[in-house]
Structure 1
């Protein structure tokens, strides 16, 4: 019984290496879609754009061409999330305050 239990933990090396599929590089239309989303969200600085992309892919990226096609959807979701999180300012700072003041309570 001891021999059977120890054989469970012995890892045999495969005779051949498994087929590894290379990641698909980003497409030109996906690059344009990311750029358009940044403009719509108001993220104009290159440093801000780079930081956002690197926070999504969790690695250093020096240019959009280094991205993979599967990463684009997550990046676009993060950018579009920024656009939705900004409050709309339709009036003055007084009109846009969140808490009531003593004047409001009169």
Structure 2
């Protein structure tokens, strides 16, 4: 009765277009920018760097060269966020303490 209507639900797999481009690989300048940002933020350990990058790209990365160019702005933004969230240390450890001591409560 409705043979034409049943064909609406038989969806063929779309053929991949040859014009679809793969994401661009990371550039040497971008690698250096990430390394510089880590240095400015004080993130020195390779495990810490790897964990931060993987938390941004949401996949396992064994080498920085596995990143794509589109990943870099988000990674740099996260690193800069770390840097800006750290309070500037001006003065001594006593001046920069976060909690009140018994002396402060007097």
TM above 0.5: yes
* Pairing of 1:42-61 with structure 2 (within 5 A): 42-61=42-61
What value does the CA root-mean-square deviation take over the aligned residues? 2.4
User: Unaligned 5+ residue runs, structure 2?
Assistant: none
Aligned twin of 1:23: 23
Rounded to whole Å, the distance in 2 between the matches of 1:4 and 1:99 is: 74
What is the SS of the residue equivalent to 2:9? Answer: coil
Rounded to whole Å, the distance in 2 between the matches of 1:12 and 1:62 is: 37
Deviation for aligned residue 1:17: 2.6
Rounded to whole Å, the distance in 1 between the matches of 2:43 and 2:55 is: 15
* Pairing of 1:1-80 with structure 2 (within 5 A): 3=3, 5-14=5-14, 16-19=15-18, 20-80=20-80
Rounded to whole Å, the distance in 1 between the matches of 2:26 and 2:92 is: 43
Taking structure 2 as the reference length, the TM-score comes to 0.80
Aligned pair count? 105
Deviation for aligned residue 1:22: 1.2
Deviation for aligned residue 1:35: 0.3
Taking structure 1 as the reference length, the TM-score comes to 0.80
Rounded to whole Å, the distance in 1 between the matches of 2:53 and 2:75 is: 6
Task: Give the ranges of 4+ consecutive aligned residues of structure 1 lying more than 4 Å apart after TM superposition.
Answer: 1-5, 97-106
Rounded to whole Å, the distance in 2 between the matches of 1:69 and 1:56 is: 13
User: Unaligned 5+ residue runs, structure 1?
Assistant: none
